Amino acid sequence: MESGFVIWFTGIPASGKSTIATEVQQRVEAMGLPVENLDADEVRANLSPNLGYTEEARDENTKRLAWFAQKLSGYGANVVIAAVAPLQKYRDRARAWCEKFVEVHVDTPLEVCQERDPKGLYARAARGEVNDIAGMHQPYEAPENPEVHVRTTEATVEECADAVIAKLRELGYLPAAAAQQAGE
């Protein structure tokens, strides 16, 4: 059985990772391919609710995501992950574990993320309730050489997803029949 691909969307909170990951997931599903979306917030809430946001906890959470992605992709499922994974070593570990790995940097300025703030995280920070936001209070190491780099202030969700799908095609991760089935 051929292994599936793993796409890791990284960026600071509220950058648009989950939104773009969901769009890519829907497009891959429309091609008739198996795909699983491992949103870091959902995985944390369901499998690791007691993990905090220290460096050690983030390390453990990203290790679990990478392990789960490796297992799923080994059985032929394609996996999209939306997770800050603030340190490059976390994403490098996932790359080492997953045969077909694509790193997507969802690049959005902090000010824009603070304005979006869909979960109220930055509002909580402004009130002094949290002080562990990657890219604000804690380090965020932007990828130096991601396979895909999207800027959400310059491209729509659809255009960002187009870039990811184009890279999957370029790498040979999408079968030609799947692209034809989707009408492309």
pLDDT of residue 40: 81
The pLDDT profile of the chain, 184 residues, written as one tens digit per residue, is 789 999 999 999 999 999 999 999 999 999 999 999 998 878 878 887 787 777 888 888 899 999 999 999 999 999 999 999 999 999 999 999 999 999 999 999 999 999 998 888 899 888 889 877 887 788 899 999 999 999 999 999 999 999 999 999 999 999 775 545 444 4
* Pair of tokens at residue 152: 């959400």
Classify residue 117 as exposed, middle or buried by CB count within 10 Å of its CB (0-12, 13-18, 19+).
Answer: middle
pLDDT of residue 147: 98
Provide Rg for the chain, Cα atoms.
16
pLDDT of residue 183: 45
Provide DSSP, 26-52: HHHHHTT--EEEEEHHHHHHHH-TT--
In sequence order, the 6+-apart residues with CB closer than 8 A to the CB of 48 are 60, 61, 64
5-181: in CATH 2.30.30.180: no
Euclidean distance between CA atoms 100 and 121, whole angstroms:
33
- Angle at which helices 88-97 and 55-74 pack, to 10 degrees? 20
Task: Using the Cα atoms of residue 95, residue 98, residue 15 and residue 126 in order, give the sign of their dihedral.
Answer: negative
Residue with tokens 């499998």: 47
* Pair of tokens at residue 59: 């390390």
pLDDT of residue 131: 79
